[in-house]
């Protein structure tokens, strides 16, 4: 039975120490709860580690857009396409793709864009107090984002997506190729059109951000356990402890923020969620030979490229597969080649590669809400490509849910039982 909110501080456990889980833990701690974070890899070492770093308040556009039904089969059979689906994973993913395609209706696209933007517009409100208290403001770079196209036809095809952003208040400047290269001289001459999103921020080291917030959490008395959550010990009205590979961890309240691994934990609590591991790859050019003046996103090459502390990071590919399947670094090499095509001066002497599973729902929206069955459990997972952007605001909303405070956004679009 779903119990009423209990605002009295108590023992809380957050499962998952990515940027979302750490932010939830900090906001609960600010409300006076004694909080334990549980994650087998430690803070920031999952999907939070290897993303493009963009705090994408221009990312209201959902993944499912008009024409997606025609594009998906082509992308699945094309070895150079950015979308990958292993045939052995087809039975598990078929229902996800059916729902994904259903969300490409114009009415759904508009509603999803509204719901994404409602969160994205408040991303800095969510992060500001956490960054100030942790002394981590220097990890944000406000140099903006440049999105590029290499043909007039491709740019025309992006008009609807650009208007989705414009109608939701996202400022942007349309440029020709020469104007784009004035902002970023390293761009290939093939770039014909671009859109500049001024002052859009990116994180110069996503791992260091999560680690800085986690250290601040520990300094305030929080506890971090490198353990794997296996399930829950149930009491008369709901869970009373998390069972891990190291023992029993009792608490009064629980937050499930474990990314793709939330699926099994939510199912044990009676909630089914169609979350899939959308595995992304990156290559970091440690000695790039160039420096970037803005974060880049190539619509033609399906990559994002960002200047970071460790070098230039290029990210891309959406590989649908079991999250535990070994990485196929051919995809990281494909990302590398595409980045060098976009930036011809990019040197590849010293590089690192990575793969991580983004937790994605077919409607491009996260789950943020109280468990439909148990009032002392809150779910916070499924943030796909915008988990880094939404970490802070998700943490604030989770703390509001636990305390029974009115949320600053309508939580209906993110409810756990919407599927």
pLDDT tens-digit series, residues 253-295: 999 999 999 999 999 999 999 999 999 999 999 999 999 999 9
Q: What is the pLDDT of residue 302?
A: 94
- In 3-state terms, what secondary structure has residue 142? coil
- CA dist 152 to 129, 148, 177, 216, Å? 43, 11, 11, 48
Phi, psi dihedral angles at 397 (to 5 degrees): -65, -40
24 close to 257: Cβ distance less than 8 angstroms: yes
Bridge partners, residue 275, by sequence: none
Structure tokens at 50: 């290897």
- CA dist 223 to 19, 267, 363, Å? 16, 26, 34
Mean per-residue pLDDT over the chain, rounded: 95
377-381/253-256 β-pairing: parallel
Least confident range of 53-62, 68-77, 118-127, 237-246? 68-77
Which helix or strand (DSSP H or E) is residue 155 part of?
helix 152-157
Distance CA 258, CA 280 (A): 17
Which helix or strand (DSSP H or E) is residue 225 part of?
strand 223-225
- With a threshold of 0.85, does the pTM exceed it? yes
What confidence category does residue 1 fall into, taking pLDDT thresholds of 50, 70 and 90?
A: very low
Distance CA 31, CA 309 (A): 33
pLDDT tens sequence across 5-46: 566 789 999 999 999 999 999 999 999 999 999 999 999 999
Least confident range of 92-101, 308-317, 390-399? 92-101
């Amino acid at each position: 039975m779903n119990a009423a909110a209990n605002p009295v501080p108590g023992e809380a456990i957050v499962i998952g120490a990515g940027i979302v889980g750490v932010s939830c833990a900090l906001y609960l701690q600010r409300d006076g709860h004694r909080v334990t974070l549980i994650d087998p890899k430690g803070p920031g070492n999952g999907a939070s580690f290897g993303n493009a770093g963009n705090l994408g308040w221009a990312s209201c556009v959902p993944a499912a857009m008009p024409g997606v039904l025609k594009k998906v089969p082509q992308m699945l059979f094309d070895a150079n396409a950015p979308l990958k689906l292993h045939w052995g994973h087809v039975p598990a993913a078929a229902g996800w793709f059916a729902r994904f395609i259903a969300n490409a209706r114009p009415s759904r696209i508009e509603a999803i864009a509204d719901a994404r933007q409602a969160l994205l517009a408040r991303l800095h409100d969510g992060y500001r107090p956490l960054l100030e208290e942790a002394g981590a403001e220097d990890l944000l770079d406000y140099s903006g984002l440049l999105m590029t196209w290499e043909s007039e036809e491709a740019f025309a095809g992006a008009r609807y997506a650009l208007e989705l952003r414009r109608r939701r208040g996202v400022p942007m400047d349309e440029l020709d190729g020469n104007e784009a290269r004035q902002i970023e001289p390293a761009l290939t001459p093939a770039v014909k059109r671009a859109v500049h999103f001024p002052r859009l921020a990116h994180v110069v080291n996503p791992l260091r951000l999560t680690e800085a917030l986690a250290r601040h959490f520990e300094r305030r008395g929080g506890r971090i356990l490198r353990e794997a959550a296996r399930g829950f010990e149930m009491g008369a009205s709901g869970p009373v402890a998390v069972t891990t590979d190291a023992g029993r961890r009792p608490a009064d309240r629980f937050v499930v923020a474990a990314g793709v691994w939330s699926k099994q934990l939510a199912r044990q609590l009676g909630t089914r969620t169609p979350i899939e591991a959308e595995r992304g790859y990156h290559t970091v050019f440690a000695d790039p030979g160039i420096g970037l003046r803005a974060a880049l996103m190539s619509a033609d090459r399906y990559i994002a490229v960002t200047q970071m502390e460790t070098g230039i990071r290029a990210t891309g590919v959406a590989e649908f597969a079991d999250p535990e399947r070994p990485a196929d670094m051919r995809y990281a090499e494909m990302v590398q080649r595409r980045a060098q095509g976009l930036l011809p001066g990019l040197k590849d002497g010293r590089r690192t590669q990575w793969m991580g599973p983004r937790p994605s729902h077919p409607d491009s929206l996260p789950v943020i809400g109280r468990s439909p069955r148990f009032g002392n459990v809150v779910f916070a997972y499924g943030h796909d490509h915008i988990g880094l952007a939404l970490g802070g605001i998700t943490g604030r909303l989770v703390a509001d849910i636990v305390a029974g405070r009115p949320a600053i956004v309508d939580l209906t679009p993110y409810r756990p039982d919407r599927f």
